[in-house]
Structure 1
Amino acid sequence: MTAFSVLDQGPRRAGVSSGELLGEAVRLARHVEELGFSRYWVAEHHAQAAVGISAPEIVIAHLAARTTRLRIGAGGMLLPNHAPLHVAEQFRTLEALHPGRIDLGIGRSSGTEHGPTAAALRRSSVAPEVFTGQLAQLLAFGGRDVLPAGHELASVRAVPDDAPLPGVFLLGGSRSSAVVAGRLGLGYAYLAAYQNPANAFQALRRYREEFVPAYEGARPWAILTLTVVVGRDDAHADALATPWRLALAQHAADNSSALLPVEEALAYRPTPAEEAALSAPPLNDLRAEVVGGPATVAAKLKSFVAESGADEVMVVANTYDPVDRRESYTRLAELAGLVGA
């Protein structure tokens, strides 16, 4: 049976404080835990008006303390922004506090397209060869690997040294990232299926072909991340998805703003720049957007899982109203046959 999980990007509504946003994350995490979802990951973004989580490691600790079974993780920690040793120590600490319930997803981007913010955050380049070295350090500091003899950091040990590094997933959006994840024996989460679903399917298959077990009994675990909004019917779901589509267009047009209510988003007249963003890739390609009533969503998910071979579907449902968001996950749980539904 395919597992289902949640990726929380912290969608922001106009006029809602950061405290309210984080309170909504707690309510959603508890809700999907009761429904039978497997994990709940929080993303790292910076300088984006429509999303509000910038420190996933802190939010993870908060959510793990307020749930009981759900795996809580980062989707992800963006390694160019952080020292590998610090990430290893943060997540070994989280694992010590919540044994067996923490995941560490690692990404290569900076989490922002705003140049000054990226410069303020970034410790290093996002070039693949630099990232590969950072990842090797992280795995070594976490006790999952060792640095080459003579490496200047070979003697470094992360504290607490008696708590393991939690399960590590490489986040990606290309076949090259799938190869890296497979050869290192890591889990793999394809996060950019909305841009090119066919490439997502190829990447997940390549990941399995390249997988080398990092320890005895290890097996590949492939996660396909999709935008999924389940409404009462197709028209209702399409309306619920409109504020987020508009927010993405506004961000692409350098007019980033918080999500508008459904009625305002439906009545909104896009600027020429926003209209151009809506009419160009990736926003004009809705092949990987799973939006509709229960029957529509069930058929699309069945097709995507069959084509990709995904072990798990991770769902993003950025609606304006948090009640609509929870109801969408409830409908998804029902059509997926999750135990709590």
Structure 2
Amino acid sequence: MHRYSILDLVPVTEGGSVGQALANAADLAAHAESLGYTRYWVAEHHGMKGIASAATSVVIGHIAAATKSIRVGAGGIMLPNHAPLVIAEQFGTLDALYPGRIDLGLGRAPGSDMRVAQAIRRNLDSDPNAFPRDIMELQSYFADDGRTGLSATPGAGADIQLYILGSSLFGAQVAAHMGLPFAFASHFAPQMLDEALQIYRNLFRPSKMLDRPYALAAMNVIAADSDEEAAYLATSIQQSFVALRTGNPRQMPPPVEGYLDTLPPGAVAALQDVLSCSAIGSAETVNAGIEAFAKRTNADEIIVAASIFDHEKRKRSLSITASAFEAVPA
């Protein structure tokens, strides 16, 4: 059995509301906790009509309050959008409220377009060393080692697990150099998955936090009682990806019968490529897909993205997925 966890974008469905999306996230996290999932992450995105997790630290607190033991965190915080001191204070507060349960995954993408980045009012530094410098500043606040000349309150001494996120080779190099766990976003950017994991493991330097590489890899899992039902449910995320890639992000649409048949061949091929790290089907099909992905990546932990329009169907999918993971050999 592998460790298995959840990445939730807190989807706002067509006809739904942000309030309902947040309530669903809390309910889904409690359900995941009962099923043995290791952690529940939410991601920072801005300017997206269908994603309710923009205020990521607030959402993490909401989910942590609805659960008791599952780790909760960011997958991730887009550090270029924030002053490291502010993130130290936010996550120091979360650690004080929910000690020993808070994860902080860090990415360097803006999680938005340039208009939103400008609205956030951060100067986006094109220097590739800016991201590692910000991470080290953040680590200094948590360690309270005096290197910044400031003490973060809350934040100083907080027990926060840091992770480096990536969809390219740069994140793998940063994580390896700093001796931190690395999570690859193969659920939407699978092209560099194998090379990134190889680079991370080959270049890894032990640190105070980690003495050996720890790799997480993400995949989409849509599970249902039959292959046909799962394929139908998966059309919601397929529609969302097409909308995003064509510059028209929208709230999560309901599933559509025969959706792929409505697309031109080029769009189908592009969709199959971006969602190639996926397991969609019945328990048997999902088990086989998870086992193949685990063998391919040799990941220490697999992060499941499971965006489904119907909340109860989504809970059912997580139940089937947990059973599938339990059946996968370590």
TM-score w.r.t. the length of structure 1 is 0.88
Q: Which amino acid in structure 2 is aligned with residue 109 of structure 1? A: A
Structure 1 counterpart SS, 2:44: coil
Structure 1, unaligned stretches of length 5 or more? 148-153
* Alignment of 1:238 onto 2:231: yes
In structure 2, what is the equivalent of residue 119 of structure 1? 118
Task: Give the CA deviation at 1:335.
Answer: 1.6
Aligned to 2:61: 61
Deviation at 1:122, TM superposition (A): 4.7
Which position in structure 2 is the counterpart of 1:166?
A: 160
Query: Deviations for 1:32-82, whole angstroms, at most 9, x for unmatched residues?
Result: 000000000011111112222111100111111121110000011111111
Write the distance in 2 (CA, Å) between the matches of 1:22 and 1:62.
Answer: 8
What is the correspondence of 1:128-167 to structure 2 with a 5 Å cutoff? Answer: 128-143=128-143, 147=147, 154-160=148-154, 162-167=156-161
1:194–1:282: 8 Å Cα contact kept in structure 2?
no
Task: Give 5+ residue unaligned stretches, structure 2.
Answer: none
1:1-341 alignment, distance < 5 Å = 1-113=1-113, 115-125=114-124, 127=126, 128-143=128-143, 147=147, 154-160=148-154, 162-196=156-190, 199-215=192-208, 218-263=211-256, 266=258, 275=264, 278-279=267-268, 281=270, 284-337=273-326
Distance 1:286 1:44, change over 3 A: closer
Contact 1:76 1:105 (8 Å CA) reproduced: yes
What TM-score does the superposition give when structure 2 sets the normalisation length? 0.91
Identity within the alignment, %: 35
Greater mean alpha carbon deviation, residues 179-188 or residues 210-219: 210-219
Q: What letter is aligned with 1:305?
A: A
1:248 partner amino acid: F
| Contact 2:141 2:155 survives alignment (8 Å) | no
Alpha-carbon deviation of 1:285?
A: 4.7
| The 10-residue stretch of structure 1 (121-130 or 95-104) with the greater mean CA deviation from structure 2 | 121-130
Q: CA deviation at 1:123?
A: 1.0
How many aligned residue pairs are there? 326
Counterpart CA distance in 2 for 1:246 and 1:336 is 27
Question: 1:226–1:313: 8 Å Cα contact kept in structure 2?
Answer: yes
Aligned to 1:151: none
> Are the counterparts in 2 of residues 6 and 314 from structure 1 also a CA contact under 8 Å?
yes
Q: Quote the RMSD (CA, aligned, Å).
A: 2.3
DSSP 3-state at the match of 1:291: strand
Deviation at 1:129, TM superposition (A): 2.2
Distance in 2 between residues matched to 1:107 and 1:203, nearest whole Å: 15
Shift in Å at residue 201 of structure 1?
Answer: 2.4
TM-fit CA distance, 1:158: 1.2
Alpha carbons of 1:192 and 1:282: their partners in 2 closer, same or farther (altered >3 Å)?
farther
Deviates more, 1:213-222 or 1:42-51: 213-222
